[in-house]
A and B are shown apart, each in its own frame.
Chain A
Amino acid sequence: MSDATNYVTLTIDAVEVKVEAGTTVLQAAEHAGIVVPHYCYHPGIPSRPAQCRMCLVEIEGQPKLQPSCVFPAQDGMVVYTTSETAETARKSVIEFLLLNHPLDCPICDAAGQCMLQDYAFETGQLRSRYAEAKLVLGRDRVADDILYFGDRCIVCTRCVRFMEELAGDNALVVAQRGHKAYIDTFPGKDLDNAFRGNIVDVCPVGALVHEDFVFKARAWDMDSSPGICPGCSTGCNIDINVKENQIVRTKPRLNPDVNSYWMCDHGRRHLVMANRGVRAEAPLIRVDGELEPASWNEALTWIAGRLEAGDGAAVVSGGAANESLFYMRGLLSELGIDGGTFRVLQGEEITLPGFPKLKLRADRAPNVTGAELHGFKRSDELADVPDGGVLIVLGDALADAPADYGANAGFFLCVGSHLYPAMVNATAILPMTSVLEMEGTFVNYEGRVQRFHQALRAPGVARPAWMSLSRLLEHRGVGEGVLDARAAFQTMAAGTTGMDNLSWSGLGLRGELLSEAGQPAVAVE
């Protein structure tokens, strides 16, 4: 029975914990800092079949062990998660799960972050009493890009339930039954859902693996950085797994306000593609008609001395960080150039029905709202360049520009990460880090400012655009160059409508909404 405020107090392993009525014992234990091992329960998947029997705990007054993932916490309840009965039962579940398991951890991609491996080590069973021949199920391809290792599968059905309950697509089923049960696509159906990649993330063992990741990296050989997916304007929170400065895998990172535990496959592919392309690695300035490499100081002094206020145009990208856009705006003001445009690639919008806030949104750029906040206008066309005027391009806006774009400009400054054909017309090129190689912030479709961390080392001497542009301004006698993302953010926040309520540390890993003044004009759905 709950008290007036609807809280219940219970004791779990001698720790007293107060939780809201309706909380399960497993969640209550989490509050108390006690992890009850589990497989089939996943906090993001609504159904609780209580079928893995791993989270069985002893509860005083209950004749049998109870699955803590569904058993409601009650006032005065006394729970033991590590009593002898509970421990023996757990040990036994592990023994059962390992009966037909191939024990191929040395080649398994989940090794090192496998819940079966972890608990098997924890229960410390070195030998199996199983003397029979193991059932061999082999491997299969459940989707174009996902492999299924049947022998490793513990049939927790998280993947099936994700597809059914979150993706609203019952393409996956449990085939057969009993000890012969395995996961397969429904006869006649293909697993081609735009969110199918999440089944790999929810798999607690190494049964489901992305084919582009299989055998590529061990868990302990990868670095992981919290990032924001640049694939669309949703701004899914992700972890970027990097090995030898290459992105090998991306996984969604929990943010209940944005993407919950999920992300779409477009985002995953988009990020792995970020390894590609020809990069700008050093500042280039046009000397005697040729683009010549220069040191940063040399290039900035050279550019600062030649840029003249007057007629001009600016092109930015909806994929650039807020800080870069802020200093871009500063430079444009200094030169007396108004406006500036950006183009946004459009695509099909796809919703995750079980968490409708998460969509692959039509705007396939992460910082459209941010660009608009800094006064840049969305446009379908590249900006017209006034003859002999100034053209400044920030970010990857020229990927599909005609080869003569900017040739008529008097001074064409390009701050970009990749080299594209039209950049041969530039007067100077400043190499920029991609958003994966720097720290900064994006503003997503609903006005949430989110921080991303550096995942990769930049090539050559590429620098974040906020750094090079603030230094360029310094060379022209405006303000000071900033050398770290915090300073860039704080300068920007103080000088940007809607951001004055934000602080770098306050953003944390979950982000913060812009204040009302900065909210995007389009109503949030």
Chain B
Amino acid sequence: MGYPYSHDLEVNTLLSRHFGDEKARTLEGWKELGGYATLPRALEMEPGAITEVVKESGLRGRGGAGFPTGVKWSFMPQEPTGPHYLCCNADESEPGAFKDREILRWVPHLLIEGCLIAARAIRAEHVYIYVRGEFFPFSRIVTDAVVEAYEAGYVGENILGSGWNCDVTVHIGAGAYIAGEETGLMSSLMGGRAEPWIKPPFPAQAGVFGRPTTVNNVETLAAVPMIVAEGADWYRQWGTEKSPGTKLWCCSGHLVRPGTYELPMGIALKDVIYDVCGGAPNGKKIKAVIPGGSSTAMLTADELDCEGTYEGMAEAGSALGTASPIVMDEDTNIVRAMRRIAQFYAHESCGQCVQCREGTSWTAQLLHRIERGEGSLSDIDTLYHLCEQMTGRTICPLADSVVFPLRSSLDKFRDEYEALIRC
């Protein structure tokens, strides 16, 4: 196997079993590995029955929010009055996250099969796979796979003789973080700027082209075929009651073995960091971890003993997000790290809401000034004020995304800020 990442834990891999196997990319190879076996079964099922299985499995959205997937599907109108759409969110742009692209590049057919089954469940006949603009090679791989699937009759008209039609379109984004937010994604897909819109209308009422739409993450959709094939109880053998199944963890930063690992839900964060990834290199101590991608609250080294589930991480005062811990060792300048994060969000703010447009940029500038040693103590108060005014005031959660790490860094590493101010 050419896949570079490995670890010592014995884990049954589901999504990542064929990562690194070039064969899995081709339709022929994928079928040898047992691919497209679930689709014929799904075609015989009632849409409601598919939704029911997914609902029972407890699968939760892997894009970060963790909303139960089956429940989301059940919001779609049961009797269509026109087209429904499924959007696969492959605009993976959260700093620290690199799991969807692994699915895209190693098992594209798994994703396509998942998309088709999900489309069947929500009565959609058109799937858009919105791929992040920067993913040049991976969007190519997915596109090739879609072409193959069309040729083999898995996608298109009268799929496998069932009389059901479903098209799959690969759409390549133009490079905006906020296109990963579901309404932003839909705005972009429709040809506009990737600007989120205020809900209501919710996507299940009026999404893409004003029609009922479901937006699901790549990892979520990739888990669907196996759940439909093996059943809800089978899926629930991994993970916890509230967060069943397995999860791809993207570990980066100061680690001995950074990488993407598929682990059962519920694994302790410290086990991921120390056992799976081998802790910080060169015998350094870990100072802080941003556990779920850059938009989640920082945890200190003492707070890592928490359950790796949506609810467990929330209890620890952070969030599972995309399960993408960014580990920072003792040498890390927290203010600098925070400034870099703030700059990212300032750069990616779409510019609609005032708090986000001006607040993210002001935050980044304030942090930069403190980092340069030109800050004052009142700047810390201003930062706290910004945290308050950027939380829950905007259309989408981008402004909140900078607040989570910022507020936690101010709370937990205030001494580092003050040290830079007083030096």
Contact = CB atoms under 8 A, between A and B. Distances in A.
Interface of A: 48-54, 56, 63-65, 67, 70, 88-89, 92-93, 96-97, 99-100, 129-132, 154-155, 157, 174, 176-181
B347 interface: yes
B395 interface: yes
Contacts of A177: 176, 193, 348-351
Given A49-B352, A53-B354, A53-B355, A96 B362 contact: yes
B371 to A, nearest CB: 13
B365 interface: yes
B347 A178 contact: yes
A70 B197 CA distance: 12
Contacts of B358: 96-97, 99-100, 179
A129 B360 CA distance: 15
B359 interface: yes
Contacts of A155: 351-352, 357
6 contacts: A53-B393, A63-B392, A92-B355, A155-B357, A157-B352, A178-B357
A49 B198 contact: yes
Top 6 closest pairs, chain A to chain B, by CB: A181-B351, A96-B358, A51-B352, A178-B349, A179-B361, A92-B389
A177 B365 CA distance: 17
Nearest to B356: A178
A99 to B, nearest CB: 5
Nearest to A100: B358
Contacts of A50: 198, 395
Interface of B: 176, 193, 195, 197-198, 346-355, 357-362, 365-366, 369, 378, 382, 385, 389, 392-395
Given A54-B354, A99-B362, 17 more contacts: A50-B395, A52-B354, A53-B353, A63-B392, A89-B393, A92-B393, A96-B355, A96-B357, A96-B358, A97-B358, A131-B369, A174-B351, A177-B349, A178-B360, A179-B346, A179-B349, A181-B357
A48 B199 CA distance: 11
B395 A130 contact: no
Contacts of B393: 53, 56, 64-65, 89, 92
Contacts of A178: 346-351, 357, 360-361
Contacts of A100: 358
Contacts of A174: 193, 351
B60 to A, nearest CB: 22
A65 to B, nearest CB: 7
Given A56-B393, A179-B349, A93 B355 contact: yes
Contacts of B198: 48-50, 67, 70
A134 to B, nearest CB: 11
Contacts of A52: 353-354
A157 B395 CA distance: 15
Q: In terms of DSSP, what is the predominant structure of the interface of chain A?
A: loop
B395 A96 contact: no
Given A49-B198, A178-B350, A179-B346, A132 B365 contact: yes
A178 B361 CA distance: 8
B322 to A, nearest CB: 22
B354 A93 contact: yes
Most interface-central of A89, A99, A154, A177 (chain B CB within 10 A): A177
A49 B354 CA distance: 12
Contact of B353 (A51, A99, A129): A51
A192 B393 CA distance: 37
Contact of B362 (A48, A49, A93, A132): A132
Nearest to B389: A92
Contacts of A92: 355, 385, 389, 393
Contacts of B353: 51-53
Contacts of B360: 178-179
A49 B394 CA distance: 11
A70 B199 CA distance: 10
Nearest to A157: B352
B389 A132 contact: no
Contacts of B357: 96, 155, 178-179, 181
A92 B354 CA distance: 9
Contact of B392 (A54, A64, A88): A64
Given A92-B355, A178-B360, A129 B395 contact: no
A51 B193 CA distance: 14
B351 A179 contact: yes
Contacts of A181: 351, 357
Contact of A51 (B359, B366, B395): B395
Contacts of A130: 362
Contacts of A88: 389
Nearest to A155: B351
Contacts of B349: 177-179
Contacts of A129: 378, 382
Nearest to B394: A53
Nearest to A180: B351
B376 to A, nearest CB: 9
Nearest to A67: B198
Contacts of B359: 96
A155 B348 CA distance: 16
B351 A97 contact: no
A155 B394 CA distance: 15
B388 to A, nearest CB: 8
Contacts of B346: 178-179
Contacts of B354: 51-54, 93, 96-97, 154
Contacts of A63: 392
A56 B391 CA distance: 13
A399 to B, nearest CB: 49
A385 B357 CA distance: 71
B389 A89 contact: yes
A24 B385 CA distance: 30
A167 B196 CA distance: 24
Contacts of A132: 362, 365-366, 369
A177 B393 CA distance: 19
Contacts of B197: 49
Contacts of A48: 198
Nearest to A133: B365
A394 B382 CA distance: 70
A52 B195 CA distance: 13
A54 B358 CA distance: 14
Nearest to B348: A178
A99 B365 CA distance: 12
Nearest to A176: B351
Nearest to B368: A132
A71 to B, nearest CB: 9
Contacts of A157: 352
A99 B361 CA distance: 10
Contacts of B355: 53, 92-93, 96
A132 B375 CA distance: 11
Nearest to B386: A92
Most interface-central of A63, A64, A93, A100 (chain B CB within 10 A): A93
Most interface-central of B195, B351, B394 (chain A CB within 10 A): B351
A38 to B, nearest CB: 12
A49 B195 CA distance: 10
B182 to A, nearest CB: 17
A63 B393 CA distance: 11
Nearest to A92: B389
Contacts of B395: 49-51
A65 B394 CA distance: 9
A379 to B, nearest CB: 51
A131 B366 CA distance: 9
B186 to A, nearest CB: 14
Contacts of A51: 352-354, 395
